[in-house]
């Protein structure tokens, strides 16, 4: 029985997930205590697809495990749809479905049996269970009655997603959901996640596939060394690194960069006798200025391609700094700072 003062306001303005000054300190065994989360303030809007990104050991799994009730926080607060994870534990946990990173499946149960058992844990009446509907949506219906030990790694990953959905939770938390899943099945999984989101389900995910986060997420938070170092819409984060690339092909061989293609914040490289690569801050220099500089030399442009900043560069710039963030606006606008091009990781398959 809940008192009126503890009943949350379920208006749309209340975040799907909210943490305030959340801390977790693990006791040290052979050394000092480890502060895994440092006063984390996070707000996940209701109805969004929200990405939580960070390098290994940044605190992502600790945060998710606290929300799931698997790890006890040291201090601060966390709420799911307004329900406090400790004071209103039952409501909070029934409001989320967790897809863990580990493949924790019973090898001697079939997908159908696992789904039915999971639904029973959540008290879903048999007439309301959607076992085969969910398995079919995740392309597992033809494997409903085989032992889980016979499933491939990608199938087991999708079965974890299916288990998290048995009670139709309004918030789904996915910890590296597409790790080990091939491209085709990954696309199918995300199509289903988009359908759930269109129906009002909030999706919170962690992923190492930055292209995936850039394409899928409305908002993104980046965590490093146990603290949130950035949280904004995906578009706003991409705008933080003021950088653009232009690859210009010309009709004649040259042995030096033309005058007018250098200056503060501009990095120009002669990639071949007929190909020039220019990196520049678009907020300070217009593309037309660069093209005019080439035309003034009498050269003719035969091809032009451009590339905007991507999330991968933002991620590297933010997490590579020892303090966990961009120290100044100069770092964001200076292509020389941070050596981003050489630090980028390979694209996801």
- pTM of the predicted model, to two decimals? 0.73
Residue 1 or residue 291, greater confidence: 291
End of a domain among 308, 327, 344? 308
Domain for residue 324, yes or no? no
Contacts of 4 (CB under 8 A, 6+ apart): none
Together in a domain, 133 and 169: yes
Q: Which domain holds residue 207?
A: 4-234
pLDDT at 49: 95
Together in a domain, 190 and 260: no
Together in a domain, 182 and 251: no
Together in a domain, 212 and 190: yes
Together in a domain, 250 and 229: no
Q: Is 304 in contact with 236 (CB distance < 8 Å)?
A: no
Together in a domain, 53 and 202: yes
Residue among 318, 223, 224, 226 nearest 38 (CA)? 226
Domain for residue 325, yes or no? no
Together in a domain, 212 and 286: no
CATH number at residue 88: 3.40.50.300
Together in a domain, 185 and 266: no
Domain for residue 341, yes or no? no
Together in a domain, 191 and 53: yes
Domain for residue 338, yes or no? no
Q: Does the pLDDT at position 109 exceed 90?
A: yes
pLDDT at 335: 31
214: tokens are 């850039």
Q: pLDDT tens-digit profile of 234-275?
A: 888 877 766 788 888 988 888 888 877 777 778 888 888 889
CATH number at residue 276: 3.30.70.1560
Domain for residue 162, yes or no? yes
Together in a domain, 219 and 95: yes
Separation in Å, CA 141 to CA 104, 146, 155, 158, 167: 20, 10, 11, 11, 18
Together in a domain, 111 and 84: yes
Residue 235 or residue 347, greater confidence: 235
What is the distance, to the nearest Å, from the Cα of residue 163 to the centroid of all Cα atoms in its chain?
Answer: 21
Together in a domain, 158 and 288: no
Residue 164 or residue 103, greater confidence: 164
Q: Total domain count for the chain?
A: 2
């Amino acid at each position: 029985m809940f008192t009126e003062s503890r009943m949350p306001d379920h208006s749309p303005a209340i975040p799907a997930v909210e943490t305030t000054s959340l801390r977790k300190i693990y006791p040290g065994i052979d050394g000092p205590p480890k502060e895994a989360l440092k006063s984390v303030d996070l707000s996940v809007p209701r109805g969004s697809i929200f990405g939580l990104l960070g390098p290994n050991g940044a605190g992502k799994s600790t945060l998710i495990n606290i929300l799931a009730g698997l790890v006890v926080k040291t201090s601060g607060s966390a709420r799911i749809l307004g329900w406090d994870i400790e004071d209103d534990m039952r409501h909070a946990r029934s409001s989320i479905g967790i897809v863990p990173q580990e493949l924790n499946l019973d090898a001697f149960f079939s997908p159908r049996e696992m789904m039915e058992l999971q639904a029973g844990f959540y008290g879903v009446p048999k007439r309301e269970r959607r076992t085969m509907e969910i398995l079919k949506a995740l392309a597992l219906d033809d494997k409903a009655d085989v032992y889980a030990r016979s499933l491939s790694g990608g199938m087991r990953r999708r079965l974890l997603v299916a288990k998290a959905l048995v009670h139709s939770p309004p918030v789904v938390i996915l910890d590296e959901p597409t790790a080990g899943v091939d491209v085709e099945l990954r696309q199918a999984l995300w199509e289903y996640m988009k359908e759930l989101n269109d129906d009002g389900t909030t999706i919170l995910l962690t992923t190492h596939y930055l292209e995936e986060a850039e394409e899928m997420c409305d908002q993104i938070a980046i965590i490093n060394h146990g603290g949130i170092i950035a949280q904004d819409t995906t578009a706003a984060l991409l705008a933080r690194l003021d950088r653009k690339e232009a690859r210009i092909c010309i009709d004649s061989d040259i042995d030096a960069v033309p005058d007018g293609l250098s200056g503060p914040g501009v990095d120009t490289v002669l990639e071949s006798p007929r190909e020039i690569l220019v990196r520049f801050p678009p907020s300070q220099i217009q593309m037309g200025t660069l093209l005019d500089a080439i035309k003034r030399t009498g050269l003719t442009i035969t091809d032009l391609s451009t590339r905007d900043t991507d999330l991968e560069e933002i991620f590297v710039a933010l997490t590579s700094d020892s303090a966990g963030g961009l120290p100044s606006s100069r770092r964001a606008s200076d292509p020389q700072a941070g050596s981003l091009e050489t630090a980028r990781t390979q694209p996801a398959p």
